[in-house]
Amino acid sequence: MYELIDLLQASKNYYFVDYVPYTINNPNFLELEEYFEYQYLSEFAEKIVRIALEVIYLYPCQIYLTAPDKIISDQEEFSFDVDIRNSTPEKIANAIRQVILTDFSSVQILFSNPEFLVSIGGGFSVTIYNLPKDMIILFEQLVNHEGLFLKNNV
C-alpha cells in the first residue's frame, strides 16, 4: 500500500488546494500566511473535510492515517497504518480535521478506480496526485464550492 502511495507522490502530475487564486513568490507573504494559519486554519479544515467526504463516498478508496510524527492528547482514538474507510463519517472527519489542525500525521486517501491519491497533511497541505482528466472538473467544482482553488503544479 505505501509503495503505491510513494509511487503516486513521486508523480510530477499533481494538483493542490489553495486558499488564494494566485501564486505567491513574495517572501513578505509568509507573515500573511502565518496569520491565515492562526486565524483561518480551522475553517480550512472544515472545508477539506467536506470535500474529502464527498469524494470518499463517490469512489472506491482506502484511507490510511500514517504513523504519527508527534504525540497528541487524543491520539489513542486513531488507528494508524490500517484502512479506516469503513469508519463512520464522523471518525474520518475527525481524523482529517486533527491532521490539518495539529500536523501530527497525514491522511492518505487512495482511490482504486480510477487510481489517484489525495494526500492531506498538516496546515494548508492538500495534494491530489495522478488526478484523471475526467475528474478535474469535479474536483474544481467541489473545491470552488468551498471558496478554495484547485491549482496545477506547473
Q: Where along the chain do its domains lie? A: 2-23+35-152
Cβ-proximal residues to 28 (8 Å cutoff; 6+ apart), any chain: none
Helices (H), 64-152: 89-102, 133-145
Q: Centre a 10 Å sphere on the Cβ of residue 84 and count the other Cβ atoms it contains.
A: 18
**Whole-angstrom Cα distance, residue 80 to residue 71?**
13
Q: What nine digits make up the cell of 137?
A: 472538473
Q: Is 137 helix (H, G, I), strand (E, B) or coil?
A: helix
Q: Tell me the pTM.
A: 0.90
In the prediction, which pLDDT does 59 show? 94
**Better pLDDT: 42 or 154:** 42
Q: What nine digits make up the cell of 124?
A: 494548508
Cβ contact 42:145 at 8 Å: no
Q: What nine digits make up the cell of 102?
A: 495539529
For residues 59-87, average pLDDT: 83
In the prediction, which pLDDT does 73 show? 63
For residues 122-146, average pLDDT: 96
In the prediction, which pLDDT does 150 show? 97
